[in-house]
Homo-oligomer: A and B are copies of this chain.
């Protein structure tokens, strides 16, 4: 009886310890609900399409295949996603340096939609955050920054996590990196 108690407590880490995981899960769900709702209003599409627009806008000579890996989609899914962006006049396919590659570029209205998208995202998160005091927000920022900085992420993981990041406000990305690739 006593032995059973110790065994179980060693595995479950009862109560408080998992409470933080549940809280962060709930907050993350609320945050993403709001971000995705705003994104759909801006570009009229869901799934990974808004993220694709943001990633292409980083402008590091994005190709179909790089995009595929960042978004975590299949190859054909990515081609069709780009088809939609092209038919919406937000993206152009140009010739890449390598004759196989396609160089993806935002059109003028694509760049405008991307800016709206980023603003909508920041606004959505801010509306949840602004119940905290400036001091509390600073504390939270420090903790999240540490949390991200200590993750063991591959280069592609970093691009994936940052696939909706606002390169206008995220000047020094906390994610660990041997060499800084995309400046955010």
Contacts and interface: CB of A to CB of B under 8 A. Distances in A.
Copies in the complex: 2
Given A32-B32, A121-B25, A161-B29, A147 B169 contact: no
B28 A141 contact: no
Interface string A134-147: 00111111011111
**Helix, strand, loop or mixed for chain A's interface?**
helix
Nearest to A37: B72
A181 to B, nearest CB: 16
A114 B24 CA distance: 19
Given A27-B148, A33-B160, A151-B131, A22 B165 contact: yes
Contact of A137 (B20, B31, B121, B171): B20
Interface of A: 15-33, 35, 72, 121-122, 125-126, 128-129, 131-132, 136-141, 143-148, 150-151, 160-166, 169-171, 174
